[in-house]
Amino acid sequence: MFKKNNFYNLIFLVILASAFSLAHAAENISAKEIYQNNCAACHGSIGKPDPDNPMFNELGLLPANFTDPLFSSREPSKDWFLVVKEGGAAKGFSKIMPAFKEILSDLQIKKVISYIKTLAGDHGYPSGDMNFVLPIRTKKAFPEDEVVWKLRFQDNINNKNRNQVRNVLEIEKRIFKNTQLSLELSHSIDDGIDNGHGNFDQIEPGIKQVIYENVSQQFIASVGTLLAIKTEERAASDEVIPYIAVAKRLTKTLTMQGTARSTLPLDKFSEGNVELSSVVHWSPSLWPRSFKPGLELVASFPIDRGAGSSRKSFAQLSLIPQTQIGLNKRGHIMLNLGAEIPLNDTERYDYRGYAYLIWDFADGGLFDGW
């Protein structure tokens, strides 16, 4: 009698034997043939594993279904490249998903991935290849399924009243194909107010809609609106924050994202501002447990600059060097660190520190994939 382990080792050996002879014989074998020879035994000949097939029951786990458009669209091709080349275990998936690095060339792996990406048909979901690193300030254009805990502290040596620690919990959930709802809950401890006692001071619901996507040019654009509802008694006015977010891949390893947004206090628009921000990230490694450094520039234009000695500059500029650090093997738990340095109007603060903990919950639970 076979144990399960032996069973899938056997399937794999058979695949290995036939694949070796076929794949190595012809580097230019078609993507469909690569798939049928190497993958179909487990993933099904049309990309959909059949739960009634006794073989899948032996595997004890249903292999990924490539005909599911939501699943297929949201996974970046480079993530799949790593799974196919290095095997499921390398990315915190099941080791039943074999490594193909000895069997297929990088080019063949890329071909077969392009092929399995077609198995979900024409679906209208945005491509996961447009899902870039979460910036510190710039808004993301891609609609996410994500929970982010954001910590920000602001330090001002000359004016302790401006020191602040802010904690924000953000939940983002995709609905339909191209829309995302979000909700932020904020808690602040201001040294200048309430003697440093903390307050839950803001609830911020939001909606975002992808308006344009061009996969061949690697470009995506979205519009969105946030509503910042102040929940404290001494609170300032509620604010409405409309924005446009764009993202473009520049090269294999460099991406650029930008946002134009306006923060408008509902009782006095003139106290609001218009903010432009842009960030470039460098992702040198395919491995999830790696650093993705970036540099972000923020320019905030006050609508009313005020008068006298406290008159604000035309544009308040700041720079945010930052990095993302992938924490687990699967890459869906990440830590972003950043520091914001004001370039002018420096009495605002000396620096701000940021730490974001991100959980991309579409890719698994908090404890999966370590």
Interface residues toward ligand HEC, by CB under 6 A:
8, 11-12, 15, 38-39, 41-43, 59, 61, 63-64, 75, 80, 83-84, 88, 93-94, 96-98, 100, 112, 116
Compute the distance between CA of residue 225 and CA of residue 243 in angstroms, rounded to an integer: 6
Least gap, CB of 81 to ligand HEC (angstroms): 9
Smaller CB distance to ligand HEC: residue 116 or 228? 116
Least Å distance, CB 232 to ligand HEC, is 43
With contact defined as beta carbons under 8 Å apart, do 217 and 180 qualify? Answer: no
Region for residue 127 given its phi and psi (left: phi exceeds 0; alpha: psi -120 to 50; beta: otherwise): beta
**Which residues lie closer than 8 Å to 48 by C-beta, 6 or more apart?**
65, 66, 67, 119
CB of 286 to ligand HEC, least distance (A): 13
Q: How far apart are CA 20 and CA 25, in angstroms?
A: 8
- Give whichever of 33 and 238 is closer to ligand HEC, judged by the CB atom: 33
**92 vs 206, which CB is nearer to ligand HEC?**
92
Q: How far is the CB of 341 from ligand HEC (least distance, A)?
A: 38
Q: Residue 242's closest CA among 268, 209, 214?
A: 209
Least Cβ distance, residue 46 to ligand HEC (angstroms): 14
Burial class (CB in 10 A: 0-12, 13-18, 19+), 80: buried
Residue type, 60: G
Q: Which lies closer to ligand HEC via its Cβ, residue 204 or residue 360? A: 360
| Structure token pair of residue 110 | 């890329």
Q: Which is nearer to ligand HEC, 83 or 148 (CB)?
A: 83
Residue closer to ligand HEC, measured from CB, 82 or 134: 82
Q: Residue 4 CB, nearest distance to ligand HEC (Å)?
A: 11
